[in-house]
């Protein structure tokens, strides 16, 4: 793993371009209007202070500050914990290194979701990761950005951020855009169908770009690792949720299981590799055919 504070073009080209709650069922969520969403800290006092955030935004002038250049290769001995700065944010049943992959599985609960987070302090970014599923019919995996260090409604502050979610458990399987607001995960787009096969690596990208003071462009895609990255985005959404506009936050990797406590001894594993975070790769263009 490396933290990077270089110019964009200082990255090797292959890194710059990518490597190749409506509980409990994580089915279609119900997006909430801003007026209906609970505050992140569970009261009506507004935004929590920086001191309350596990992942405060890094000061721009801080030495070696996290600044949207971040690479994680999950190198290390098998069985070792995920390297710094990763930390479990909630629901983690297993998280370790396995032959150059980061293994992650959730605890089985009524809402079986594991989350590992890295506090890199980004607002606008493009993040790509390789993901591989052991049992796709029961699993999903997500990249979160603008993530505040929270986990659902089990932390203070409540979880918040934007994500692209490989919804392997769906029929048909595919990819969608989500957000977490007030600790409740909400789907923002229909699922774009994509076949997901066990133990086949896929690349997943999330791009988040502030368009203006009141609108954020979200873009996501999924493709088979090792193949050329498609030019088109699979899912696109423009979000106007007030509390997420202009927000900085960390990166998180999530694993979801449809299995719940009492159904099995443990959830199946999901594996991550070659996470690369950079500034957005393309100049944002506000879509004209979306209902916001």
Taking the C-alpha atoms of residue 109 and residue 112, their distance in angstroms, rounded to an integer, is 5
User: pLDDT digit string (tens) for 90-140?
Assistant: 999 999 999 999 999 999 999 999 999 999 999 999 999 999 999 999 999
**Mean local confidence (pLDDT), 60-88:** 80
User: Is pLDDT of 75 > 90?
Assistant: yes
| Helix, coil or strand: residue 204 | strand
Question: ω into residue 85 within 30 of 0, thus cis?
Answer: yes
% of residues, the chain, pLDDT over 70: 74
pLDDT of residue 240: 97
Listed residue (91, 274, 256) closest to 166, CA to CA: 256
pLDDT of residue 166: 98
pLDDT band at 285 (very low <50, low <70, confident <90, very high): low
Q: Measured on CA atoms in the order 15, 269, 167, 218, is the torsion positive or negative?
A: negative
Q: Give the CATH fold of the 2-8+66-278 domain.
A: Jelly Rolls (2.60.120)
pLDDT of residue 117: 98
Taking the C-alpha atoms of residue 222 and residue 194, their distance in angstroms, rounded to an integer, is 8
pLDDT band at 3 (very low <50, low <70, confident <90, very high): very low
Q: What angle do CA 139, 73, 232 make, to 5 degrees?
A: 60
pLDDT of residue 67: 58
More confident residue, 36 or 233: 233
pLDDT of residue 281: 85
User: Is pLDDT of 54 > 60?
Assistant: no
| Strands 139-147 and 249-257, bridge-based pairing | antiparallel
**Mean local confidence (pLDDT), 190-212:** 97
More confident residue, 152 or 20: 152
Top-confidence range, 13-27, 42-56, 272-286? 272-286
pLDDT band at 289 (very low <50, low <70, confident <90, very high): low
This prediction's pTM: 0.79
Per-residue CA distances from 232 to 205, 217, 229, 261, 282 (Å): 12, 15, 9, 39, 12
pLDDT band at 165 (very low <50, low <70, confident <90, very high): very high
**CB of 278 closer than 8 Å to CB of 205:** no
User: Is pLDDT of 13 > 80?
Assistant: no
pLDDT of residue 53: 38
More confident residue, 18 or 251: 251
Cα 68 off chain centre by = 14
pLDDT band at 71 (very low <50, low <70, confident <90, very high): very high
| Helix, coil or strand: residue 114 | strand
3-state secondary structure 41-66: CCCCCCCCCHHHCCCCCCCCCCCCCC
């Amino acid at each position: 793993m490396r933290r990077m504070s270089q110019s964009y073009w200082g990255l090797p080209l292959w890194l710059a371009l990518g490597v190749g709650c409506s509980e409990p069922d994580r089915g279609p969520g119900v997006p909430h209007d801003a007026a209906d969403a609970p505050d992140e800290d569970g009261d009506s006092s507004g935004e929590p202070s920086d001191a309350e955030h596990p992942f405060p935004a890094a000061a721009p002038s801080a030495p070696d500050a996290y600044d949207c250049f971040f690479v994680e290769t999950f190198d290390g001995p098998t069985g070792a914990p995920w390297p710094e700065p990763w930390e479990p944010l909630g629901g983690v049943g297993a998280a370790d290194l396995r032959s150059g992959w980061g293994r992650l599985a959730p605890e089985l609960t009524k809402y079986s979701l594991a989350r590992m987070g890295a506090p890199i302090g980004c607002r606008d970014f493009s993040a790509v990761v390789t993901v591989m599923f052991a049992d796709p019919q029961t699993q999903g995996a997500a990249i979160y950005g603008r993530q505040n260090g929270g986990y659902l409604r089990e932390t203070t502050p409540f979880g918040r951020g934007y994500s692209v979610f490989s919804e392997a458990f769906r029929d048909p399987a595919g990819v969608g855009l989500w957000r977490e607001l007030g600790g409740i995960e909400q789907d923002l787009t229909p699922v774009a169908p994509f076949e997901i096969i066990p133990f086949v690596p896929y690349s997943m990208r999330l791009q988040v770009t502030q368009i203006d003071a009141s609108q954020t462009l979200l873009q996501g895609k999924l493709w088979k690792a090792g193949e050329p990255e498609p030019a088109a985005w699979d899912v696109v959404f423009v979000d106007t949720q007030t509390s997420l506009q202009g927000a900085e936050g960390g990166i998180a990797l999530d694993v979801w299981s449809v299995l719940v406590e009492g159904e099995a001894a443990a959830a199946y594993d999901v594996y991550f590799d070659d996470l690369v975070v950079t500034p957005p790769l393309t100049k944002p263009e506000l879509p004209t055919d979306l209902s916001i």
